[in-house]
Structure 1
Amino acid sequence: MNDLVGSLRTRYRDVRTSRELRAFLADPLNIAGLAIVGTLVIAAVFGPLVAPYDPAAQDVPNRLQGPSLAHPFGTDQLGRDIFSRLLYGARLSLGIAVLVTAIRLVLGTTIGVLAGYAGGWIDELLMRLVDVQLAFPGLVLALVIAGILGPSLRNVMIALAVVGWASYARVVRASVLSTKEREFVQAAQLMGVSRFRITIRHLLPNVASPVIVLATLNLGTVILGTAGLSFIGLGAQPPTPEWGTMLSAGRHYLRDAWWIANIPGVAIMLTVLGFNLLGDGLRDILDPKHDATSEKIT
């Protein structure tokens, strides 16, 4: 009997996964988001290997050169190749976004699960902490923290991680409150299964979908926040090839050399757009309401 149930469960999941994948790929916006994010990942991984120039190498005689075969995106005010700096900046921006989002996810998920499952005064205390954090505008709070800690990419990462975990805590707590009332969790409790095992085996898998969607959307937000803080001088410092720093340096040459600021600006815009499109597509297929029959079999 157990073998039959396991076989049916596996077949059901395979059919559902295939159906959701087809639905995801049928939407051109999802394909566009996937293409943009995929291009960013490829640039981040392989870009430094194929970059034609050293991103920090100065060539003053060729400064402010427009796009050409030698320099596809032109050169900046110090003669540095913008295409090479853009490729190195992709690795930097994506790496920061992944690390900051991972910190937010772990911290917020831990607090959300603890608050939702424990309940009582623990829930009240943790949720009031979340309310306090959400009461401050995120970018303003990150700006204050980064300003206190001093200008550097590490401090920007700390600032962005500190201000972003509360949204995960709220989403996870709401999912846990719903999931812990379901029959399979109550059955596990009656069987004497420990809280830790229930959390790992039953609660976390059932709250993963909204967290994945939120994390995907957050990746673009973190890239935008990092670029914004670097733009005002609190993030990466020259000559680091970070997109926000490149945008800041290029603002003084908008009339004479539009490509210095516009190209990294377009890269930031497309990256955020790509993650937003991908996140929306994942939400459509991972939303628990997407399939009302998706009960966990235990």
Structure 2
Amino acid sequence: MSNSTSILNKTSSSAEGFGASLVRLIRLLWADKFAFFAVLFLLIVLVCALIGPALLDYEATRQNLRGRNSVPFDLAKDWLYFLGGDQLGRPLLARIIVAAQNTMMVAAGAVLVSMIVGAILGLISGYSRGRLGQVIPRLADVIMSFPSLLLAVIVLYMLDPSVSNIVIVLAITRIPLYLRTTRAEILEVRERMFVQAAKVIGASDFRIIFRHMLPVIFPTIMTIATLDFGFVMLAESALSFLGIGIQAPEITWGLMVSQGRPYLMTAWWLSFWLGLAIVMTTLSLNLLSNWLRVVLDPQQRWRLEIGGTKNG
């Protein structure tokens, strides 16, 4: 009986602790209004990417030649045509929502792969004092010697422009960013007292790197990843715009911008709404990255805490 009571007490205390942390996080977010509305917009994009194709996939691909290049804000038509129709009469609103999944999938996959690989290589090269610490940074130099977009164009021109290939190519081009940043941070952290103390008590290198050093630099990595998400999304859109990204019948925001380019003079809305979605998402990611940089820095967090207290 006492064991079950203690388990219930621990569960309730952990739930209360999670609730308090969530309330505190919301207050910090509300203290920065730009970041707050940026998060709201990103949540809307995330919901569209997760459930949009399941609900609107048929509407996004169904052609209606009578509604070719339908003008936006025409209340006489169905609500899906609120943003207009494309060159085949398909509703732009439905296509924007459905295309969000591929766009976010490519960007998230490339950022996740490059962050994991680059951070691990950076941790090893920064902590190692031998030859390994000198060889790994040269890998980043080799990749950075080629312009990232040009490298992606060359590789995708030779390979099938599928989602997986685009993710791999974009991830490879972004690995040096995480590798060099992580290595620079580790070179400074490894000289701190707590690392030396861990060595003295006999902690293994694996434990020192991943248990003691990684949590210190993790906020920096997450801030860069949030910022890099927008860059990768723009790179994917550029590749699709050039015609070597994801191919029809699959759709992404960049591909839809490319498809609307011939109609810019007669039906500007075919590309405008997609460009606006890309700009708003990238801007929201930049605002969120700036908020994360402040929140994860104890020396600057007090500014948001004071602002959250006043607003509360």
Q: Is the structural similarity TM-score above 0.5? A: yes
2:309 corresponding residue in structure 1? none
* Equivalent of residue 195 in structure 1, options 199, 205, 222: 205
Question: Which residue of the partner structure matches residue 127 of structure 2?
Answer: 117
1:74 paired to 2:84: yes
Partner amino acid for 2:283?
L
- Corresponding position of 1:64: 69
Cα distance in structure 1, aligned partners of 2:134 and 2:91? 54
Structure 1 residue 22: Cα displacement: 3.8
Please say if residues 66 and 73 of structure 1, whose CA atoms lie closer than 8 Å, have aligned partners that are also in contact.
yes
> In 1, distance between residues paired with 2:157 and 2:251?
21
Change (3 A) 1:254 1:18: same
Code of the residue aligned with 1:248 in structure 2: it is S
Match of 1:45 in 2: 50
2: distance between equivalents of 1:151 and 1:95?
A: 15
Whole-angstrom CA distance in 2 between matches of 1:195 and 1:288: 27
Residue 266 (str. 1) matches residue 276 (str. 2): yes
Residue matched to 2:260: 250
Pick which of 185-194 and 128-137 moved more: 128-137
- Normalised by the length of structure 1, the TM-score is 0.86
The question of 1:154 aligning with 2:164 is answered yes
Q: Judging changes above 3 Å, is the alpha-carbon distance between structure 1 residues 242 and 165 closer, same or farther for their aligned structure 2 residues? A: same
Q: How far apart, CA to CA, are the structure 2 residues paired with 1:266 and 1:52?
A: 22
Instruction: Give the distance between the partners of 2:243 and 2:65, measured in 1 at CA.
Output: 24
Q: CA RMSD in A?
A: 2.4
Q: 1:190 to 1:52 in 2, by over 3 A?
A: closer
Kept after mapping to 2: 8 A contact 1:109/1:172? yes
Q: Distance in 1 between matches of 2:23 and 2:90?
A: 47
Quote the sequence identity (%).
Answer: 35
Q: Distance in 1 between matches of 2:245 and 2:288?
A: 27
Which AA in structure 2 matches 1:208?
F
Choose which of 97, 100, 117 in structure 2 pairs with 1:90: 100
The equivalent of 2:237 in structure 1 is: 227
- Residues 54 and 16 of structure 1: is their aligned pair in 2 closer, same or farther, counting only changes over 3 Å? closer
Q: Distance in 1 between matches of 2:40 and 2:179?
A: 30
The alpha carbon displacement at 1:20 in A equals 7.2
- 1:127 is aligned to 2:137: yes
CA distance in 1, matches of 2:113, 2:220: 17
Deviation at 1:15, TM superposition (A): 10
In 2 relative to 1, CA 25–134 (structure 1 residues): closer, same or farther, beyond 3 Å?
A: farther
Structure 1, residues 216-262: CA drift from partner, whole Å, max 9, x if none?
11111111111110111111111212111111010111122111111
Provide Cα deviations, 1:185-227, integer angstroms capped at 9, x if missing partner: 1111111111111122101111100000011111111111111
> SS state of the match for residue 203, structure 2?
coil
Gapped regions of structure 2 (runs ≥ 5)? 1-18, 303-312
- Report what 1:25 is aligned to: 30
**Contact in 2 for aligned 1:156/1:234 (Cα 8 Å):** no
| Structure 1 pair 242–20 and aligned structure 2 pair: CA distance change class (3 A) | closer
Between 1:15-24 and 1:48-57, the stretch displaced more is 15-24
State the Cα distance separating 1:159 from its structure 2 match: 1.3
Going from structure 1 to structure 2, the CA distance change for 1:77 and 1:19 (only over 3 Å counts) comes to closer
Q: Which residue of 2 aligns with 1:55?
A: 60
Counting matched residue pairs gives 280
Alignment partner, residue 217 of structure 1: 227
Distance apart, 1:66 and its partner CA: 1.4
How far has the Cα of 1:151 moved from its partner?
A: 2.9
Other structure's SS at 1:54 match: helix
Q: 2:14: which partner in 1?
A: none
Query: What is the match of residue 182 of structure 2?
Result: 172
1:120-151 deviation digits (Å, cap 9, x = unpaired): 22111111221222232222222222222243
Q: SS at the partner of 1:51? A: helix
Check the 8 A contact 1:53/1:81 in 2, yes or no: no
What do the CA deviations read for 1:66-120 (whole angstroms, capped 9, x no partner)?
Answer: 1234111111111111111111111111111111111001110111000011122
